[in-house]
Structure 1
Amino acid sequence: MSLDLLFLLFLLLRMAIAAAFVVTASIITERSGPVIGALIATLPVSAGPSYVFLAIDHDATFIAQGALASLPVNAATIFMCLTYVVLSQRHTLVVSCGSAFAVWIGMASIIRQFDWSLTAGLAANLIAFGICIPLLARYRHVKMPLVSRRWYDVPMRAALVATLVAIVVSTSSWVGPRISGIIALFPVVFSSIMVILHPRIGGPPTAAVLANSAWGLLGFGMAIAVLHLGAANLGSPIGLSMGLATCIVWNLTLWWLGRRKKVVPAK
């Protein structure tokens, strides 16, 4: 078997694995309501596989540097969510989603111009979430209508994430860790949620999923910082495991706190 064919088969396998993660997570999101859906959507179901595959091809230094570039991009994602949430209350999918993507692309283009330190990346996240979380709070409490799946949903979601993984894996060697880290954080899950749910259930219920994702995204940012520190000091496998554990523990804590608020004390 030629090296080119072997590379192609390995790339297709990586794309299929990543697509399976995202499709499963997005289906659960549709059926579990905006709160649980948001917690699932903010797990590293898209960026995680991309970073795992990058770690297979590159050393720990590459992963640590990529994580530094990813950290401020997480701040761009929460501004993208805010843009969509606000506009989707009154506007069409094209206007809301198009504007949200424009915000993300614009901010990511600015981010790539700078060499980010861990402190600067964390500061960008704290400022971004300090602004966006209060603004998103009023849009969180909307009942999720029943969603009927259509035949093209799963193929479209699979194609989105498979394309992302193919771009990250195929270009990482010549674009370097900074661009790879930015591409790896392209919001595939949020994109599929917007594109699929908005035409069916309307802007406000779809926006509720993204509005509830704010606290989860904050934890995701912390997980990226943990990934950077873990990869730089302990190697890629441990760094990736620490980052995943951070996301899971953070989101489980949010879920537990949410359940406690619903408990009515006995009189």
Structure 2
Amino acid sequence: MPTDLSFILLLALRMALAAALVVTASMVTERSGPVIGALIATLPISAGPSYVFLALDHNAAFISESALASFPINAVTMFYCLAYVVLAQRRSAVVSVGGALVVWIGLAVIERLFSWTLLGGFIANAIAFGICIPAFKRFQHVEKMPLVTRRWYDIPLRAIMVATLVAIVVSLSRWVGPFVSGTIALFPVVLSSVTMILHPRIGGPATAAMIANGGWGMMGFGVAIAVLHLAAVPLGSAAALSLALATSIVWNILLWWIGRRKVATKMR
């Protein structure tokens, strides 16, 4: 089989697998409330497949360097969330998501000007969370969460967007190197697709409440990226990816458990 055809077929398979993951995660999210939905949305639904397929094509050192590039981008995504949450209170979906994407792209361009270390990534994330987590509090609750009615194109749209992201990351990684690959892998495709779908249907404040509730989950996602960077070379890509995924899942389970404990305490 010609090399180009083999690459295209393998890429199509990878896109299909990523799309299937998004469809499954989306169906679970839609059956949950804003808090659980936010915890699911902050799992590595789009970045995970991108990194798995990067690991199939590159060595552990490449994955480690990509994760190091992704770490400060997690802080950038937090400001994306904050920009959307603020804009969504009064603006349309297009303006809110578009404005948040302008913030993400602008900060990502600035981030590329620096040579990042793990300590630098921790500092960037600490600053982002120190600003965003307190700012989210006033937007985390709405008087009534409207019922979400799914339309036929909702999940296919999300699947196509994530599959496209996987295709871009995998294709470009052969030329652009780990730094750009790690940056693109964290492009907020899932957050953008979810907000674009839900905002016109249930309103900006309700959609913003879901995003605002995901702040602590984003922190766990950042920890998982740091784990991937540290573990990739000594443990190998497969073990490091598994450990990073377990870190993200366990973090969000703990957040859910803490939330349940708080609710139970208030009811006493």
Q: Could you list the runs of 5+ residues in structure 2 that have no partner in the other structure?
A: none
* Residue 265 to residue 100, structure 1, CA distance change in 2 (3 Å): closer
Kindly indicate whether residue 52 of structure 2 is the aligned counterpart of residue 75 of structure 1: no
The answer (yes or no) to whether the contact 1:97–1:195 under 8 Å persists in 2 is: yes
* 1:263 counterpart SS class: helix
Task: Give the corresponding residue for 1:251.
Answer: 252
Kindly state the Cα deviation for residue 2 of structure 1 after the two structures are TM-superposed.
2.0
Alignment match, 2:145: 144
The answer to whether structure 1 residue 214 and structure 2 residue 215 are counterparts is yes
- Structure 1 segments unaligned to the other structure (5+ residues): none
CA positional deviation for 1:253: 0.2
Aligned to 2:48: 48
What is aligned with 1:187? Answer: 188
- Residues in 1 aligned to 2:85 and 2:29: alpha-carbon distance in whole angstroms: 17
Kindly, what percent of the aligned residue pairs are identical? 67
The aligned counterpart of 1:28 is: 28
Q: Within 2, Cα distance between the matches of 1:76 and 1:25? A: 24
Give 1:26 deviation, angstroms: 2.5
State the alpha-carbon separation in 1 of the partners of residues 202 and 262 from structure 2.
Answer: 27
Paired AA for residue 224 in structure 1: I
Tell me the TM-score normalized by structure 1: 0.97
Who is 2:109 aligned against? 109
Quick one: distance in 2 between partners of 1:265 and 1:182? 42
> TM-score, normalising length from structure 2?
0.96
In the TM superposition, what is the alpha-carbon distance from 1:95 to its structure 2 partner?
1.4
> Partners in 2 of 1:28 and 1:129 — Cα distance?
27
CA distance in 2, matches of 1:61, 1:249: 26
| 2:86 aligned residue | 86
Would you say the 8 A contact 1:78–1:214 is kept in 2? yes
Report the aligned-residue RMSD: 1.3
Q: CA deviation at 1:232?
A: 2.6
In the TM superposition, what is the alpha-carbon distance from 1:112 to its structure 2 partner? 1.7
- CA drift at 1:265: 7.0
Equivalent residues in 2 for 1:117-136, closer than 5 Å: 117-136=117-136
TM-superposition CA deviations, 1:18-49 (whole Å, max 9, x none): 11112222332233111000100011111011
Deviations 1:168-213 (A, max 9, x none): 0011011000000000001121111111000100001100110001
Find the counterpart in structure 2 of residue 232 from structure 1.
233
Against the structure 1 CA distance between its residues 174 and 198, is the aligned structure 2 distance closer, same or farther, given a 3 Å change threshold? same
Matching residue's letter, 1:181 = G
Q: For residues 263 and 228 of structure 1, what CA distance do their matches in structure 2 show?
A: 37
Cα distance in 1, alignment partners of residues 150 and 43 from structure 2: 22
Q: Which amino acid aligns with 2:79?
A: F
Deviation per CA, 1:201-236, whole angstroms, max 9, x where unpaired?
A: 000110011000100000100100000000032211
Deviation of 1:155 after TM superposition, in Å, equals 2.0
Retained in 2: the 8 A contact 1:26–1:193?
no
Q: Which residue of 1 aligns with 2:160?
A: 159
Check conservation: 2:158, 2:194, Cα contact below 8 A.
no
Q: Which amino acid aligns with 1:109?
A: V
Deviates more, 1:179-188 or 1:23-32: 23-32
Q: Which residue of 2 aligns with 1:196?
A: 197
More off after superposition, 207-216 vs 22-31: 22-31
Shift of 1:264: 4.0
Instruction: For residues 139-184 of structure 1, give each alpha carbon's deviation from its aligned partner in whole angstroms, at most 9, with x where no partner exists.
Output: 1112432111112112211110111000000110110000000000
State the alpha-carbon separation in 2 of the partners of residues 265 and 38 from structure 1.
22
1:26 and 1:189 in contact (8 A); partners too:
no
Task: Kindly indicate whether the alpha-carbon contact (under 8 Å) linking 1:31 and 1:147 is maintained by their aligned counterparts in 2.
Answer: no
Distance in 2, Cα, partners of 1:13 & 1:202: 36
C-alpha deviation, 1:109, in angstroms: 1.0
What is the CA–CA distance in structure 2 between the aligned matches of 1:264 and 1:217, rounded to whole Å?
25
Which residue pairs with 1:64 in the alignment? 64
Residue identity opposite 1:160 in structure 2:
M
